[in-house]
Amino acid sequence: MNPSEWFTEQHADAGSAFSLKIKKKLHEEQSEFQHLEIYETETFGNLMIIDGCTMVSTRDNFFYHEMMSHPALFTHPDPKRVWIIGGGDCGTLREVLKHPSVEQAVQIDIDERVTRLAEIYFPELCESNNDPRADLKFIDGIKWVKDAEPNSVDLIIVDSTDPVGPALGLFSEEFYRDCFACLTENGMVVQQSESALYHLKLIGEMRDAMSNAGLSNLQTLFFPQCLYPSGWWSATIAGKGDLSKFREADSSSKPFDTVYYNVDIHKAALAQPEFVKKAFNL
Ligand code: SAM
């Protein structure tokens, strides 16, 4: 095997790695914030790498984008105003805008270059960027939330890179307190929360920080994502209101297509494995 034909992301702490066979490198640059690479792969379409970590592939991004958006949107009673913090590839934005109840979706990514590259190499993810309800901002999401008016948003989706570099503060109690302050009555946050197999401690710390910030109703959902460490990913919803039920009838009759998400997948994603229950006293 010629290592130069493969992109490999090593997960050092877990002693594992994930590789994709590469056809060619399409782009590489150092933006103001991070190192960006785009490859054409043999079997996963195009692949975006940020700071050496896999972000998005053409072939499997639907798991992540659908599970970062639809479960939370069908849990909130009436989501009208949505912010996506990060999410520069625009795939989550596209899913959010499938919901007719959403009147405004603001995507706040620190790095405009991620979106400009997504427009070129992942055009299908950017197909809703010109929807009149979409608003793309390129500033730090931490500052955006800190400066926001109270009572100004129903759902905040934190679709960020891992908790290092510019994304570190997005995993802090202070950030969740700022989220709490600008959320409406039934408001909620959903955040990508890494792998329960590799990062259980991080998920626990995130849940504690959300809870301490007043977002004390929590649901961690699980879904496959072969591109990310361990291939098994999670998202954590933290809300002011009850999260124990979701709008099942609306989910069953959703007026749009998905590739992975449906009402049964939603229910299944809420099932908690024994070791997770034990770790979080559920
Ligand atoms: N699906 C990916 C994952 O879990 O690995 C995340 C993809 S998305 C491309 C991550 C985005 O978060 C990047 O575009 C990055 O620029 C953005 N980001 C990181 N820190 C940020 C911050 N403080 N404010 C806004 N966006 C941020």
Amino acid at residue number 117: L
Residues framing ligand 1 (Cβ under 6 A): 55-56, 64, 85-89, 108-111, 114, 140-142, 159-161, 166-167, 170, 192
Residue-level pLDDT at 67: 98
Residue-level pLDDT at 105: 98
Ordered domains of the chain (ranges, CATH): 3-57 (2.30.140.10), 61-280 (3.40.50.150)
> What is the spatial distance between Cα 51 and Cα 37, in angstroms, rounded to a whole number?
8
Residues in the chain: 282
Q: For residue 87, give the ligand 1 atom closest to its CA.
A: 8
Residue-level pLDDT at 235: 98
Average pLDDT, stretch 51-73? 97
Closest residue to atom 18 of ligand 1, CA basis: 86
Residue-level pLDDT at 164: 87
Q: For residue 142, give the ligand 1 atom closest to its CA.
A: 23
> What is the spatial distance between Cα 6 and Cα 20, in angstroms, rounded to a whole number?
6
Task: Tell me the catalytic residues.
Answer: 159
Convert the pLDDT of each residue in 70-105 to its tens digit: 999 999 999 999 999 999 999 999 999 999 999 999
Convert the pLDDT of each residue in 156-211 to its tens digit: 999 999 888 899 999 999 999 999 999 999 999 999 999 999 999 999 999 999 99
Nearest to 19 by CA among 54, 51, 63: 54
Convert the pLDDT of each residue in 116-163 to its tens digit: 999 999 999 999 999 999 999 999 999 999 999 999 999 999 999 988
Task: Tell me the CA–centroid distance for residue 228 and ligand 1, in Å.
Answer: 14
E strands, the chain, in order: 6-11, 16-30, 35-41, 46-50, 53-57, 81-86, 104-108, 134-137, 153-159, 183-192, 217-224, 232-239
Where is the binding site for S-methyl-5'-thioadenosine, in residues?
34, 109, 140-141, 166
Task: Tell me the CA–centroid distance for residue 183 and ligand 1, in Å.
Answer: 21
Residue-level pLDDT at 220: 98
Question: Which of 156, 160, 192 to mutate for ligand 1's pocket (most ligand atoms within 8 Å of CB)?
Answer: 160
Q: For residue 170, give the ligand 1 atom closest to its CA.
A: 23
Closest residue to atom 21 of ligand 1, CA basis: 167
Question: Which of 49, 110, 203 to mutate for ligand 1's pocket (most ligand atoms within 8 Å of CB)?
Answer: 110
Residue-level pLDDT at 1: 54
Task: Tell me the CA–centroid distance for residue 76 and ligand 1, in Å.
Answer: 23
Residue-level pLDDT at 29: 98
Average pLDDT along the chain: 97
> What is the spatial distance between Cα 4 and Cα 152, in angstroms, rounded to a whole number?
49
Question: Which of 31, 157, 161 to mutate for ligand 1's pocket (most ligand atoms within 8 Å of CB)?
Answer: 161
Residue-level pLDDT at 2: 64
Where is the binding site, in residues?
34, 65, 89, 109, 140-141, 159-162, 166
For 122, what's the count of Cα atoms within 13 Å in the CB-facing half-sphere?
A: 32
Average pLDDT, stretch 31-36? 97
Task: Tell me the CA–centroid distance for residue 126 and ligand 1, in Å.
Answer: 16
Residue-level pLDDT at 3: 65
Look at residue 269 and give its three-state secondary structure. Answer: helix
Contact 137, 108 (CB under 8 A): yes
Task: Tell me the CA–centroid distance for residue 281 and ligand 1, in Å.
Answer: 30
> What is the spatial distance between Cα 22 and Cα 7, in angstroms, rounded to a whole number?
6
The neighbouring-strand residues paired with 219 are: 237
Q: Report DSSP letters for 68-94, one per residue.
A: HHHHHHHHSSS--EEEEEE-TTSHHHH
Residue-level pLDDT at 162: 87
Contact 90, 125 (CB under 8 A): yes
